[in-house]
Structure 1
Amino acid sequence: MPVRLDLPPGLGQRPLALPDAAAVAAVMAAGELADTGEVVIEAADIVADWSRPSFDVGASTVGVIGQADRSLVAYAEVTSGDRASLAVHPDYRGRGLEAELARWLRERAGEAGSAVVGLPVPEGSLLDGQLAALGWEVRWASWVLALPADAEIPPRTPPAGYAVRAARPDEHEDCWQVIEDAFLEWSVRERRPFADWSAAVTGRPGFEPWQLRVATDPAGAVVAACVLVMATPDGVPEGYVDMVATRRDHRHRGLAQALLADAFAVARAHGAARSTLSTDSRTGALGLYRRLGMEVISTWVNRCAPTLRAAGG
C-alpha cells in the first residue's frame, strides 16, 4: 500500500467503506458547486460504483479526516485501471492536500499495475491549476450538456421496422454487450464484466426498469441502448443520460438520436426539469448533441501523470 499522507496538524487518514459514500458525495458536491456552480454528483453514484464486485473499496480509497469531529474533508480513489477521482472540500483547499492525494493516486495506481493515472477536473479550477503545476498533462476534454427545461424535444423517429422502448430483463446482457463494444472502440481499458456493469446500472439505488432504453431491429434484436439516470443533485429533478451506444453495423440510421429524444421525453414525463449528459473529445459526438438542442454548461479536462512505479519513484 502507499506510504502515509503528509497531512497538516489536526487531520488524519483512513481507508473508506461503503457507508462513507454520502460523505464523499458531500465533499465532491461542495467542490462542484464552488468550481462550476452546478452539482452533478449524488451519493447513489458512489454507491453504484463502489458496489461493483471487482472493486475493493478499502484498498482503492483514502479519506482525509478531521481528528476533532471525524468528518471527511477530502478523498481520493483509484476507480479502475488508470481512472481516478480526487476531491477536497473548499474549506480545506490550499493546505497541500491536493498534492498529497495526487501523489497517493500515482502510488496506488502504480501498485495496481497501471502505467498512468488520470482524473477529470473542471477546466480552470484550482485543482486543474495545481495538477498542471505538478506536471499532470491533459489527455482529453469533456463537456456537460443540458437540454433546457423549456426546450422543445426534437422529434426523432426510428427507421421503419425499428422500435424504441424500455429493455426487458432478458435483454440486459445484450445492452451491456452493445454499450461495451461501442465504448471500447475509443476507450483504452479492459472490458467491464457484466456483473460490474449491472451493479452500476440496474443495481444503482433508485433504478427503475424504464430507465434502460433500447432500439431493436426488425428481427427484434437489441442494436442500440441508452442508460437514463433520474437524479436530484441540487434538489431539482433531472434526467441524466449516462450511456448511449449503437452497434457498429446499425449506425448512421438515426438510432442514437431516436434513443436520446426518447430518453429526454421519458425523463420529462417522470418529472425531470431538464436532461443532461456528458461527452468527451474522444467520441466525436459533441455535434450530435448540439443538433438536438443541447447546450454546454461546463467544460472539464482529464489530467494524467505517470504512476510512481512507472516513473521509477
Structure 2
Amino acid sequence: MRTPLVLPAGYRARPATLADVPAIGGLLGACEHALLGRAETDLDAVAAPFARPGFDPELDTSMVFDPADVLVARAWVKKRCEVDVHPRHRGRGLGGALLDWVEARARRDGTPQLTQTVPDEDEAAVALLRSRGFEPIVVNWRLEIALPTEPEVPEPPPGITVRPFRAGDGPAAHQLLEDAFQEWGQRRRSYTEWAALTVGRTSFAPDVSPVAFAGDQMIGAVLALDVPGTTEGYIERLAVRHDHRGRGVARLLLRDTFRGFFQRGRLGCTLWTHSRTGALALYERVGMSVGRSTTAYAKIL
C-alpha cells in the first residue's frame, strides 16, 4: 500500500519510473545550478537508486508536479533518502511534506534509521532536517586539483605493476573496492548495482582508470569518469587492499589518473571522500584541496 502524501493546494504527485530519469536530472540540475552555479549530477547517478536491492519505485518514490504539469520536487527513500525541491517552488511547504512522507514510508517499511546528505551551503535544507530531528553523522569533502602542467607519475613499488583498466577487470575491481568501502561502513553492493555506479556508466573512462597488481592479484584501483560538458575529470572510486597500504600505491594511481586527464585536455580533477575513511591527508599530499563539503544527517526511527 502506498504511503499517503499530503501536498499544498495545486500540486499533485505520482511514483517515479525509469522513464522519468531525464526530468529528475533536469530538476536536480536546476537545484545545483541555483546553489553551486553549475549542474553536477549526471543521469547515470539519477538512475542508480532504481538498482538498489528491494527498491520499489511504486512505494519508495514521489514526484511532485505543479498545475502546469511540470516536475517541481521529488523524493525517494530506502534507508537513505533524498528530497529535492525546485528553487522557484521552495518556501511553499513541499520539502516538509516530502520529508514527512519519507519518514512515514520508512517507518512503514521497518527502517531503523534514515540518512540524507545535503550541501553545507544549503542552509534551508539543513535547518529543515535539524527541525525534524536529524543529526549530523559524517562530513563529505569534494577534493579538487588544477592540472596546469602534466603531472609526474612515480615508479611502482617493487613487485607492483600498473596498467589501465581492461574489459574483464570488473569482478576483481568490484571485490577490491567493496571490501575497502565496507571497512568504512558502506553497505556491500551486488555486482549489478555496483557496476551501474562505476564501470557500467556511459562516462566511465577505462584508459584513465589505472589498476595495480601484485602478481595476478588486483591490489589497487582507480575508477574514473570523463563526463561530457565538464572541464574536469572525476574519480568515482579509489581503493588499495589493506595489506598493500602505506607503500605509495594510492599516490601512484592518483597521479596516473591526473596525467591521463591532463592528456585528455581536462583542466583539473575532482573526487569525494568522507570523514570516516581517514583519507583526507592522502589527497592533500598529492596536491588536492577541499573545494566544498556536504554532511550526512541521520534520524533514528
TM-score of the superposition, structure 2-length normalised? 0.91
Whether the 8 Å CA contact 1:47–1:205 is kept in 2: the answer is no
2:281 is the alignment partner of 1:291: no
Q: Distance in 2 between matches of 1:205 and 1:57?
A: 23
Which SS does the other structure have where 1:9 is aligned? coil
Which residue number corresponds to residue 41 of structure 1?
41
CA apart distance, 1:90:
0.5
Q: Distance in 1 between matches of 2:192 and 2:249?
A: 26
Are residues 268 and 123 of structure 1, via their aligned partners in 2, closer, same or farther at CA, if it must alter by over 3 Å?
A: same
Aligned pairs, number: 300
Map of 1:243-254 to 2, 5 A cutoff? 243-254=237-248
Which residue number corresponds to residue 221 of structure 1?
217
Which SS does the other structure have where 1:98 is aligned? helix
Which residue number corresponds to residue 156 of structure 1?
154
CA apart distance, 1:165:
1.7
2:58 is the alignment partner of 1:58: yes
Which SS does the other structure have where 1:58 is aligned? helix
Whether the 8 Å CA contact 1:17–1:57 is kept in 2: the answer is yes
1:145-202 per-position Cα deviation (integer Å, ceiling 9, x unaligned): 111242663533321231222223232111000101100111153x211121122222
Whether the 8 Å CA contact 2:142–2:290 is kept in 1: the answer is yes
1:281-310 per-position Cα deviation (integer Å, ceiling 9, x unaligned): 11111111111111211111111113xxx3
Which SS does the other structure have where 2:174 is aligned? helix
2:144 is the alignment partner of 1:128: no
1:190-235 per-position Cα deviation (integer Å, ceiling 9, x unaligned): x211121122222212434335431111x13101111101114xx3
Which residue number corresponds to residue 184 of structure 1?
182
Structure 2 regions of 5+ residues with no counterpart? none
Structure 1 regions of 5+ residues with no counterpart? none
Which SS does the other structure have where 2:259 is aligned? helix
Which SS does the other structure have where 1:272 is aligned? coil
Whether the 8 Å CA contact 1:16–1:61 is kept in 2: the answer is yes
2:71 is the alignment partner of 1:77: no
CA apart distance, 1:49:
4.5
**Residue 93 of structure 1 aligns to which amino acid in structure 2?**
R
1:2-51 per-position Cα deviation (integer Å, ceiling 9, x unaligned): 53222122211111111211221222222222223343211232134435
2:102 is the alignment partner of 1:108: no
Q: Distance in 1 between matches of 2:205 and 2:186?
A: 30
- Root mean square deviation, CA, Å: 2.1
Whether the 8 Å CA contact 1:52–1:199 is kept in 2: the answer is no
- Once the two structures are aligned, what percentage of the paired residues are identical? 35
Which SS does the other structure have where 2:169 is aligned? helix
1:147 to 145, 148, 162: 145
Are residues 270 and 152 of structure 1, via their aligned partners in 2, closer, same or farther at CA, if it must alter by over 3 Å?
A: closer
Which residue number corresponds to residue 14 of structure 2?
14
Which SS does the other structure have where 2:74 is aligned? strand
TM-score of the superposition, structure 1-length normalised? 0.88
Whether the 8 Å CA contact 1:48–1:205 is kept in 2: the answer is no
- After the TM superposition, which parts of structure 1 deviate over 6 Å for at least 4 consecutive aligned residues? none
Which SS does the other structure have where 1:231 is aligned? coil
Q: Distance in 1 between matches of 2:58 and 2:201?
A: 20
Which SS does the other structure have where 1:157 is aligned? coil
Q: Distance in 1 between matches of 2:149 and 2:294?
A: 24
Which SS does the other structure have where 1:299 is aligned? strand
Which SS does the other structure have where 1:240 is aligned? strand
2:195 is the alignment partner of 1:195: no
2:275 is the alignment partner of 1:281: yes
Which residue number corresponds to residue 29 of structure 1?
29
**Residue 21 of structure 1 aligns to which amino acid in structure 2?**
V
1:251-309 per-position Cα deviation (integer Å, ceiling 9, x unaligned): 11111111111122222222322211011111111111111111211111111113xxx
